[in-house]
Amino acid sequence: MGESGPAQPRPGRYRHYKGGEYWVYSCATHSETEQQLVVYRPLYGDRELWVRPVEMFMEDVEIEGKRRPRFAWVNDDPEGAPAL
């Protein structure tokens, strides 16, 4: 490891550009590729655990000609945070 990769999201609540809210727990390393993955779950529906590459999680998307984060930081208030 030791390589400097993309910025990693801090644990807490995020809002997806489509409106859903998610809780980020941490980042994990893929056992074969060593790719960094964000471990998170939606705060709605079945609340299954998901992973997504850090690069994709942190990237900006273009919506109606404007750049915005795919996931925007909301807060790290543990109130209502689902258990891992």
Structural domains in the chain plus CATH codes: 12-75 (2.30.30.320)
Cβ atoms of 74 and 14 closer than 8 Å: yes
CA distances, 52 to each of 3, 65, 70 (Å)? 19, 25, 12
Q: pLDDT above 70 covers what percent of the chain?
A: 94
d(CA 35, CA 17): 24
Q: pLDDT above 90 covers what percent of the chain?
A: 81
More confident residue, 76 or 55: 55
Kindly state the tokens that stand for 74. 């909301």
This prediction has a pTM of: 0.87
